[in-house]
Structure formats: C-alpha cells, structure tokens
Structure 1
Amino acid sequence: MSKSYRPRRSVLYVPASNAKALAKAASLTADAIIFDLEDAVAPVAKEDAREALRSYFLEHPTSKSERVIRINSLLSEWGPEDLLAARACKPDAILLPKVERPQDITGVTEMLEETDASERIRLWAMIETPRGILNADEIAELGLRSAARLDCFVIGTNDIAKETCTRLTKGRVFLTSWLMQILLCAKAGKLDVIDGVYNDFADLDGFATECAEAAKMGFDGKTLIHPSQIEMANAAFLPDEQAIAEAQSVVKAFSTFENTGKGAIALGGRMVERLHLEAAQKLLAKIETIGRD
C-alpha cells in the first residue's frame, strides 16, 4: 500500500484543558499537534477539556498542522466519551494510549466504522508499555491494511522508563535497544514512528543532541512538550544540503538515456543501485512536500 508523505518532524502535545495553549495552537509551526485529553488533563477537568476541544475545532475548521486528539483508554471511565468527542471534532487522527495488542486498534476501527466516521480520521498508537514493545510487530502489521486506519507509532519514553524501572539518562543508553525494536517494527508495517519527548525543555543543547540522534536512528520526528522546541525539531529531521545534493545527483544520473534501463551505475567512484534511486526520489519528494507547506 502506498501512502503519501506527510511531514511529522515536530509533534507538539497541547493540553486540551489549557485555554492559553489552545488559543496559541493555531499559530504554531509544528508539523502536527496532539491535543491531549489523557495524561495532561486532571480527572476533574476531563469533561471541560472535551468541551474546549469541540469549541476549538468549530472555531478552527482547518489547519496547516496535522491535528491529532489523544484520548484516554477505552477501559477507563473517560475513554468512551473521549472517543465520541474526538470523532465529532473530525481530527486528522486519534491517538490511542498504551496500545498493547492489535485488538486495541481494530476495536476502535470497528467503533468508527459503526458510526460512519470519515475514513480521513486515522489512528496513531502509543507504544509505551513492556507488552506494547513485545507485540509491536503484530500491531505494526495493521499498517499494511488500509481498513485498520493505522498510520503512526508514537513512543512514550517516560512511561516505558516508569514501567521498566529504567533510568532515563543522557544518550538513553538503557532504552536504545527498545527504541530500535519499535522503530524496526514500525518500518516493517510502513508506519511513521515518532520519538518520545525530551523532558528538560530549557536544555536546548541536550534537546538538539537527542533530535540529531533520533534522526540518525530513523525516526520521522519527535514529540515535544514546549513550543520553543518546534523549530529545532523541524531542522533536525530535515535532510541536510549534502544529502539533498547527493539525492539530486542520483536521480539525474539514472535519468540519462544510457542509464534509464540499468539496475546499477557507477557514480562518483561508488556503485549506485536502483534502491538508492528510490531512496533519493523519496527524499526529494519529502523536501518538495515540506517546501509546499
């Protein structure tokens, strides 16, 4: 299944209960915004947060940023009402917390189908528990089925650290193997995968370092907790000038008359195959899409 590219370099959490943050959301340059009804909203504020979201989406029917609503677990007392409110808002996607098995996705898909929800409403999955990591491959397979609506994994590093009693240190040495496991499963399912948050938003140097590492690991973007992190994330997950130039040279070389039918060619002293051409075309398509936005 072929999916059109959508930049998700910067994915900002905005508490739905925070009126000031909601008012500012429409003006931000984040690729995506997650309007949070779950962890960022106190139990006593859940109902008011839903109403605030309904009003916000009515007042802002369109947005340059992709808009996602994170609901509470359907097993919680707030989850079912959250899902109904999210469906009514018609966001680009609904983010499901603590996904641990494929049924957590397909169950919501069935509910959306039963209520004739628009096919444009996609599903994102939080992978943030030991069981979710262990079952990430089975969950990600749903990305290969259009009817499942699944588009993206979001990693909850804080919850993973909490559930495993693992310390979140600089470089995340104790989490890296799990991060790569989740990423590998996501890519096998043709899903985007968004890295976890960097908690110290005042530490811009540390944030920049973690963004650069995440980009090299293969993540499509990073979840953010403060608007000050947006521009740095956008830059970190954008291919650099050298990568763009190399991609352009590969595409140009294969487009010549003598190379159009070849599976591999020599370019700049190295062997370049058609898999490199496909990667180059994908990179340039991303740049074009980001440029249009």
Structure 2
Amino acid sequence: MTTAHPLTWLYAPGDRPEVVAKALRAGADVVIVDLEDAVAPDRKEYARAATAELLSEPRPSPVPVHVRVNALGTPLADADLRAIAPLPGVAGLRLPKVTSRADVIRVAERAVPADGGSPSLHALVESALGLEHAFAIATAHPALHGLSLGEADLRADLGVREDRGLDWARSRVVVAARAAGLPPPSQSVHPDIRDLDGLAASCARGRALGFLGRTAIHPRQLPVIEQAYLPTAEEIEEAEEITKAAATDEGALALPDGRFVDRAVVEGAQRMLSLARRPR
C-alpha cells in the first residue's frame, strides 16, 4: 500500500526477522527496520546481517522499507551504511542524532547513487544542537526527503519533564521542514502501546501543530494514527468547495458564503483532497 502521503510508519527490530515479516503485513504505509534503539549491543551484527538478507532483492511487497541505522559518526553506523545502503530493497535510510548539515552530506556522498536514485534520506533531530541547525539540516542535500524529531533523546537533552515542553521544538521542526520544501514531519512515537486514547489525543495535538502522520511501535497503534490524520467529512467538503471555486474564478477566490481565499489556501485544500483519496 504505497501513497504519496504516508501517515503510518511502523518500526520493527532488525534482529527479529519474524517481527519484521509481521510488520510488512500490518497495514503500515512504511516499515522501518530498526538497527539502533530497538537492538541490544550484542545483537547489532546479527540485526545488520538479517536486514541485509531481507533487503538483498527488490521488495515484492508494495510496502516501502526504510532502515534506521545506528548513531551517525560511530563504527556501527559506518558498518550499517556499507552493508545496507547499496541494497535494492532499501527505499530509505533514517539517520538518527543528526546535528548538522555535514552529517547529511557525508551520508549522501556515501549512500546515494550519483543519479539521485534510492535510497532517500530522512534526518532525525534528537538534541538541542540538532534543533538549532534544523533548517540547515533540512536543506543539506537533495536526497533528504524528510525531517522529524526523536523526542525521547531530545526530552532527555533538554531536561523537559512535561510533554507540552516540547511544543516549541515540534513547531521549530515543522517550520524548518516546510521552509525547506519538505513534506510535513511525522510525529515521534507514542511509547505506551496500551494507551490508545492518549495516542489519539497526542495525534490531535500533533496535527494542530502541523505534523502529518506518525511513527508507531506496534500495529495496534496504526488505525488510531490513520484516523487522527485523515480529513474529516467537514474538512473534505470545505476543500472541495475551495478547489471548485479555484477552477472557476480567475481572480480573487470567493466562496459561496462570501469568504475570500488565496492560492496558499487552495494548495492546502488540494493537499487535503489528495490525502482523503489515498489508498486505504
């Protein structure tokens, strides 16, 4: 199930191939095989080898597979990139703990073909330093297709105890991504897989801040995330009204109720309808 607007990104530990296989059938838009936080130190080499075996051939599944490598600048990350980046089954690389544009450029020079093909790069900002450099990171290289937060590490780095204490950081990344012409970021994971009500409330907050979709750590979270980020019937109706007016009005766009909207609003309405029409 591919879509131009991924809403659900499901993590699966690289050292558990059976869990990865289940993740590929779980209904996520993208599966992220994790070589970093989900894998114990003594399982890193096995996780890398198992992931390389999985992705050694082009994926027959319609679900794109990304791989989160280990922290950049470490021997583990270097080994991950050598083993994983050239494989035909890898659609994207998620780069943890990015702190500068140089981090992205170094990976791109090693991992991205000269013709600009796969894999795409996705940077995770997880520190105060990375947050300060968010726009520079977002514009570092054409192969960078996404920017998002790693909230657990950022929370620890900033000493933030309450969830709302990260709202400024969240908005900073949303603005940096959009200013760079990147898609809206996906939200960081909700760590309590049993707290679906809390997940829904958090997604609503994230959507209000400008995020689009969310990473998950368990399949049961996927329907909640998708429902939270899909447009409501009222939003679809309004978007259709706006796009209809745009198709017939050559100047300022006037809606039947007397409201005037500009081109930026029209583009937002078009994105809303594209999201509503995504394959389910």
Does the pair score TM above 0.5? yes
Q: Does 1:159 align with 2:153?
A: yes
Paired residues, what number?
276
Q: Does 1:181 align with 2:172?
A: yes
How far does residue 117 in structure 1 lie from its aligned partner after superposition?
8.0
**Which residue of structure 1 lines up, in the alignment, with residue 93 of structure 2?**
94
Asked whether the 8 Å contact 2:72–2:97 carries over to 1, the reply is no
Q: Does 1:236 align with 2:225?
A: no
Of 212-221 and 261-270, the range deviating more from structure 2: 261-270
Which amino acid counterpart does residue 179 of structure 2 have in structure 1? A
> Which blocks of at least 5 consecutive residues in structure 1 are unaligned?
none
**How far apart, CA to CA, are the structure 2 residues paired with 1:93 and 1:42?**
22
**Which residue of structure 2 lines up, in the alignment, with residue 123 of structure 1?**
121
TM-score normalised by length of structure 1: 0.88
**How far apart, CA to CA, are the structure 1 residues paired with 2:53 and 2:197?**
37
CA deviation string 1:184-223 (max 9, x = no partner) = 1111112231111111110111011001111121101111
**Which residue of structure 1 lines up, in the alignment, with residue 27 of structure 2?**
29
The CA RMSD over aligned residues, in Å, is 1.9
> Which blocks of at least 5 consecutive residues in structure 2 are unaligned?
none
| Partner SS state of residue 186, structure 2 | strand
**Which residue of structure 1 lines up, in the alignment, with residue 262 of structure 2?**
273
How far does residue 141 in structure 1 lie from its aligned partner after superposition?
2.1
How far does residue 11 in structure 1 lie from its aligned partner after superposition?
1.1
**Which residue of structure 2 lines up, in the alignment, with residue 200 of structure 1?**
192
Which amino acid counterpart does residue 214 of structure 1 have in structure 2? G
How far does residue 93 in structure 1 lie from its aligned partner after superposition?
0.8
Structure 1 stretches of 4+ with a deviation exceeding 4 A read 115-118
| Partner SS state of residue 181, structure 2 | coil
TM-score normalised by length of structure 2: 0.92
Q: Does 1:217 align with 2:215?
A: no
**How far apart, CA to CA, are the structure 2 residues paired with 1:255 and 1:44?**
60
Which amino acid counterpart does residue 276 of structure 2 have in structure 1? I
Q: Does 1:264 align with 2:258?
A: no
How far does residue 43 in structure 1 lie from its aligned partner after superposition?
1.5
**How far apart, CA to CA, are the structure 2 residues paired with 1:111 and 1:156?**
23
Which amino acid counterpart does residue 272 of structure 1 have in structure 2? V
Asked whether the 8 Å contact 1:87–1:117 carries over to 2, the reply is no
Which amino acid counterpart does residue 262 of structure 1 have in structure 2? G
| Partner SS state of residue 165, structure 2 | coil
How far does residue 273 in structure 1 lie from its aligned partner after superposition?
2.4
Aligned-pair identity (%): 31
